[in-house]
Amino acid sequence: MKILVILGSLRKANTYNTLKKIEAIHKQIADCEYEYLFLKDMNLGLCKGCFTCIAKGEEQCPLRDDRDWIVQKIEASDGVILASPNYAANVSWLMKNYIDRFAYTCHRPRYFNQKFMILITSGSYMGVKNAMKALSIMASGGNIISRLSVLNSPGMNDKKKKNQEVQIKKSTLKFAKLMNKNNQGRPRFSYLIWFSAFKAASSKNQKVYPADFEYYKNKEYFTDYDLNTFQKLSIKVFRQFFGIMINKGIM
Ligand SMILES: Cc1cc2nc3c(=O)[nH]c(=O)nc-3n(C[C@H](O)[C@H](O)[C@H](O)COP(=O)(O)O)c2cc1C
């Protein structure tokens, strides 16, 4: 089993140390291989905000760097751990740039076959929720099967430290356990809404977002998952709703 770790720290310290604990726990119970991608060492240019990836397609991004290589790494792995320190109530700038470089996946999600764990380390509780949320976006379409936030406060007492070790173990075991479960691509209700909104918008805005139009035009859902009647009906109703909103210029 291949686990890819994408790490947004600027240094090999708290976040990396937590990841090594996760790796050690995971290796005790499963046959797995960990590979670390340090964003600080990657050639991943700063997003220029040109909209090309979103509108015309990610293959037309003007930056020629490690992005596609990272995509291949994600696709070749069985599980991905996205990890970042909390910087000013968000992910680190390195991780934020990474998220922005993959923003096209919010329009055209993928990674339905991947399972994600997300990890935020922080010095306090300030902004942890925000940072977690930002990191969740990056797993678009994938299953986030485990979430963990770890505190690295110098004043932590022994009880708190112990509790935290228990939490690291629990989250890792959850990640390891659910990795083996075949629940890929199961549509959550929020995904049905997400799909309906983008499908409706893509047909209305095909000239502005041709890449979205191509992606959605023949799709009944993001994947070929066998939707039940309720799910199909939900998509139909939401598509109509979003279609009306778009035609009225509200969205
Ligand atoms: C620039 C900067 C901003 C930070 N902002 C926050 C914050 O808003 N909330 C928080 O709880 N910790 C904050 N921290 C603390 C780090 O999140 C924490 O020490 C983290 O574990 C560092 O991870 P690292 O050792 O992998 O770099 C900040 C640290 C730095 C360097």
pLDDT in tens, 93-103: 999 999 999 99
Query: Of ligand 1's atoms, which has the minimum distance to the CA of residue 13?
Result: 25
Distance 42 CA to ligand 1 centre (A): 21
What residue ranges line ligand 1, CB within 6 angstroms? 9, 11, 13-15, 85-89, 121-124, 126-127, 152
Least reliable range by pLDDT among 162-166, 180-184, 237-241: 180-184
pLDDT-derived band of residue 183, with 50, 70 and 90 as boundaries? low
Contact between residue 94 and residue 19 where contact means Cβ atoms under 8 Å apart:
no
DSSP structural state of residue 75? H
Asked whether the predicted pLDDT for residue 246 surpasses 80, the reply is: yes
Asked whether the predicted pLDDT for residue 142 surpasses 80, the reply is: no
Tell me, what's the pLDDT at 141? Answer: 67
Q: Across residues 111-118, what is the average pLDDT?
A: 87
Tell me, what's the pLDDT at 187? Answer: 85
Tokens of 36: 């670390």
Best-predicted range by mean pLDDT (53-62, 152-161, 219-228)? 53-62
Which residue in the block uniquely carries the two structure tokens 């035609």?
247
Biggest alpha carbon distance in the chain?
Answer: 60
pLDDT-derived band of residue 185, with 50, 70 and 90 as boundaries? low
Asked whether the predicted pLDDT for residue 244 surpasses 90, the reply is: yes
Q: What are phi and psi of 23, to 5 degrees?
A: -60, -45
Asked whether the predicted pLDDT for residue 55 surpasses 90, the reply is: yes
Q: What is the CB neighbour count within 10 angstroms for residue 186?
A: 11
- Cross-strand bridge partners of residue 84: 120
* Mean pLDDT (the chain, rounded): 94
Distance 189 CA to ligand 1 centre (A): 34
Distance 151 CA to ligand 1 centre (A): 10
In angstroms, rounded to a whole number, what is the distance separating the alpha carbons of residues 222 and 189?
13
Distance 171 CA to ligand 1 centre (A): 21
With the most atoms of ligand 1 within 8 angstroms of its CB, the residue from 87, 119, 149, 153 to mutate is 87
Domains of the chain: 2-179 (3.40.50.360), 189-247 (no CATH)
Q: What residue owns the CA closest to ligand 1's atom 2? A: 87
Query: Of ligand 1's atoms, which has the minimum distance to the CA of residue 17?
Result: 26
In angstroms, rounded to a whole number, what is the distance separating the alpha carbons of residues 112 and 76?
13
Distance 142 CA to ligand 1 centre (A): 27
Nearest to 174 by CA among 133, 119, 123: 119
Distance 178 CA to ligand 1 centre (A): 29
Q: What residue owns the CA closest to ligand 1's atom 31? A: 87
Distance 10 CA to ligand 1 centre (A): 11
In angstroms, rounded to a whole number, what is the distance separating the alpha carbons of residues 24 and 22?
5
pLDDT-derived band of residue 37, with 50, 70 and 90 as boundaries? very high
With the most atoms of ligand 1 within 8 angstroms of its CB, the residue from 86, 90, 148, 152 to mutate is 86
